[in-house]
């Protein structure tokens, strides 16, 4: 039986371990944490209150991964519909976005342009999903495998295909101004195109990132990311994978360009025929694989992968359910209301500063939605752009307090009374994400979502099929295709490649 050592305990590691165990491999998952789940796991905020996960958006976890692993057997369920999104602008009525509708202050013509925009995305989604949810094709390899995806794109029809080609290289601000009559609506939506990037709305190619994210989303999971992590843990163990916690891997052992196993911090070796790393590519090749085992040209390319984290996460335990400034309960809320507002916040990142006027994206869940908190209370997960990038000096307590104060000012403007409900909180900046989760650059997506770091170029051309030049060493983190978020795709596709060619 082929022995596999999976390094890491995040959602991709658990997905891969489950697939491999299901196919008869002897699987050991090695996680340095005391609780598996990685960025999806919950962490205590206050007594009886736990976070929604560092990555809290579960809408893009793929349905086909869920079905192939039969996660319904361990109780995983989807909510009936997406969270209602509240778009806030000071001294203006909120806009409420729910599925195909945008209500609130938008005029009828604005609503029609939004519906046309959603109809276009809905038409192209099946085709783009097919291309995204497969192992990247090699543009330098045989021609025939390239024809299938090209034909699928061609079947979109001349109009939609031309539109996809036109907008892919655009900045998202230009595209959404073309598509939507209401800039407030466009500014609120454009944040999805900025996830994982080092970019503002006026940066080129951000429209492509929005397409890749929107066309692969579904409905969220009941209980959020912690429920997903719990289901993956239970299912992996049911299928025969063994989980070893508080086991810190310090070396991937390679002899004559063949993997022999891994070594722990106490010097003990764990033998394996295959090592599958769910750590980001830099942590894998620059920290765990000896330089002599890797071609210098590959080391240089891996070292040059851009991972400039500018996103912070604020977890908050609340004594009630927050409302917007007109008294409507919040499920999800964003305070972006103009493209220039977002761009000015991003400008601070260019000079190594945190924004004094951060862009916030709040997800709120209570016990009825599966959050771990008492009845009547709630948990908020606040994604914050733009934080100060990881620095050698770290973040001083004064800088941390000032940044947190700016975040709460932004929240309070959109949700009056929010601060009075705060029981406890925890702020995770890029420095914290690097220290606590081993994320290079404190980058949540383990590599920026940029055109030269997508598809067959993620993380590099020679590593894009999850297999490395070292025999038996594979990658499965979000640093590989298709990129960031709780999708499960990298773990599933890496495992399928191992199963196909063990």
Do 395 and 419 sit in the same domain of this protein? yes
- In contact, 136 and 219? CB cutoff 8 Å: no
User: In this predicted structure, what is the pLDDT of residue 109?
Assistant: 77
Domain-ending residue, one of 214, 237, 255: 214
Domain-ending residue, one of 385, 409, 437: 437
User: In this predicted structure, what is the pLDDT of residue 112?
Assistant: 87
Do 315 and 433 sit in the same domain of this protein? yes
> Buried (b) or exposed (e) across 23-43, using 16+ Cβ within 10 A?
bebbbbbbbbbeebbbbbbbb
State the Cα–Cα distance between residues 53 and 10, nearest whole angstrom: 11
Domain-ending residue, one of 437, 465, 481: 437
Do 319 and 431 sit in the same domain of this protein? yes
Phi and psi (nearest 5°) for 286?
Answer: -90, -20
State the Cα–Cα distance between residues 283 and 116, nearest whole angstrom: 44
Do 356 and 423 sit in the same domain of this protein? yes
Instruction: Count structural domains, the chain.
Output: 3
State the Cα–Cα distance between residues 448 and 137, nearest whole angstrom: 20
Do 326 and 301 sit in the same domain of this protein? no
Rounded mean pLDDT for each run of 10 residues along the chain, 502 residues in total = 97 98 98 96 97 96 98 95 92 89 77 91 91 83 61 76 91 96 94 96 96 93 97 98 97 96 95 98 96 91 96 98 95 97 95 94 96 97 94 83 96 96 97 94 96 94 94 97 96 97 77
Q: Is residue 15 part of a domain?
A: yes
State the Cα–Cα distance between residues 157 and 490, nearest whole angstrom: 30
Angle at which helix 108-132 crosses helix 172-179, to 10 degrees, equals: 130
Do 207 and 232 sit in the same domain of this protein? no
Q: Is residue 48 part of a domain?
A: no
- Which residue range is the domain that position 394 belongs to? 311-437
Pairing of strands 258-264, 44-46: unpaired
DSSP, collapsed to helix, strand or coil, labels residue 433 as helix
Q: Is residue 153 part of a domain?
A: yes
User: In this predicted structure, what is the pLDDT of residue 149?
Assistant: 64
Q: Is residue 475 part of a domain?
A: yes
Q: Is residue 85 part of a domain?
A: no
Q: How many CB atoms lie within 10 A of CB 149?
A: 14
User: In this predicted structure, what is the pLDDT of residue 130?
Assistant: 87
User: In this predicted structure, what is the pLDDT of residue 150?
Assistant: 62
- In contact, 305 and 34? CB cutoff 8 Å: no
Do 184 and 142 sit in the same domain of this protein? yes
Domain with residue 356: its CATH number is: 3.30.519
Do 315 and 280 sit in the same domain of this protein? no
Q: Is residue 53 part of a domain?
A: no
Concatenate the DSSP letters of all residues of 247-264 into one string: --EEEEEEETTEEEEEEE
- In contact, 181 and 113? CB cutoff 8 Å: yes
Do 268 and 367 sit in the same domain of this protein? no
User: In this predicted structure, what is the pLDDT of residue 152?
Assistant: 67
DSSP, collapsed to helix, strand or coil, labels residue 92 as coil
Q: Give the up-direction half-sphere exposure of residue 478: CA atoms within 13 A in the CB hemisphere.
A: 26
Domain with residue 282: its CATH number is: 3.50.50.60
State the Cα–Cα distance between residues 378 and 366, nearest whole angstrom: 4
State the Cα–Cα distance between residues 227 and 376, nearest whole angstrom: 20
């Amino acid at each position: 039986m082929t022995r596999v050592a999976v390094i890491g305990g995040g959602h991709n590691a658990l997905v891969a371990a489950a697939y491999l165990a299901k196919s008869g491999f002897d699987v050991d998952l090695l996680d340095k944490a005391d609780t598996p789940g990685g960025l999806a796991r919950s962490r205590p905020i206050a007594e009886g209150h736990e976070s929604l996960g560092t990555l809290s958006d579960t809408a893009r976890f793929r349905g086909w991964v869920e079905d192939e692993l039969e996660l319904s057997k361990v109780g995983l369920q989807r909510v009936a519909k997406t969270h209602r999104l509240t778009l806030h602008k000071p001294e203006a009525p909120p806009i409420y976005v729910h599925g195909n509708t945008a209500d609130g202050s938008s005029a009828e013509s604005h609503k029609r342009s939004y519906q046309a925009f959603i109809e276009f995305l809905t038409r192209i989604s099946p085709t783009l999903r097919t291309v995204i949810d497969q192992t990247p094709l090699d543009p330098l390899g045989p021609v025939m495998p390239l024809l299938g995806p090209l034909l699928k794109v061609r079947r979109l029809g001349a109009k939609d295909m031309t539109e996809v080609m036109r907008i892919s290289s655009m900045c998202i601000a230009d595209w959404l101004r073309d598509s939507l009559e209401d800039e407030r609506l466009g500014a609120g939506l454009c944040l999805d195109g900025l996830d994982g990037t080092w970019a503002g709305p006026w940066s080129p190619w951000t429209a492509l990132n929005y397409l890749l994210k929107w066309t692969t989303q579904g409905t969220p999971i009941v209980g959020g990311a912690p429920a997903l992590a719990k289901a993956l843990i239970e299912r992996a163990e049911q299928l025969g994978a063994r989980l070893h916690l508080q086991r810190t891997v310090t070396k991937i052992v390679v002899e004559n360009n063949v993997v022999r196993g891994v070594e722990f911090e106490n010097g003990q070796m764990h033998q394996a025929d295959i090592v599958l790393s769910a750590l980001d590519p830099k942590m894998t090749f620059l920290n765990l694989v000896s330089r002599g085992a890797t071609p210098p040209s590959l080391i240089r390319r891996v070292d040059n992968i851009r991972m400039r984290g500018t996103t912070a996460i604020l977890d908050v335990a609340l004594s009630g359910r927050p409302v917007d400034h007109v008294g409507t309960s919040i499920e999800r809320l964003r305070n972006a209301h103009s493209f220039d507002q977002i761009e000015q916040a991003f400008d601070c990142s260019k000079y190594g500063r945190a924004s004094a006027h951060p862009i916030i994206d709040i997800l709120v869940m209570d016990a009825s939605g599966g959050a771990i908190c008492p009845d009547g209370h709630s948990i908020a997960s606040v994604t914050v752009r733009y934080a100060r990038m990881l620095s050698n000096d770290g973040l001083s307590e004064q800088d941390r307090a000032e940044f947190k104060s700016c975040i709460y000012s932004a929240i309070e403007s959109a949700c009056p009374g929010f601060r009075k409900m705060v029981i406890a909180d925890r702020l995770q900046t890029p420095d914290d994400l690097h220290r606590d989760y081993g994320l290079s650059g404190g980058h949540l997506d383990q590599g920026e979502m940029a055109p030269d770091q997508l598809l067959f170029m993620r993380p590099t051309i020679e590593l894009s099929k999850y297999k490395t030049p070292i025999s038996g060493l594979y990658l499965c983190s979000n640093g590989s295709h298709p990129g960031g978020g709780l999708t499960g795709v990298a773990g599933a596709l890496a495992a399928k490649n191992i199963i196909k060619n063990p």
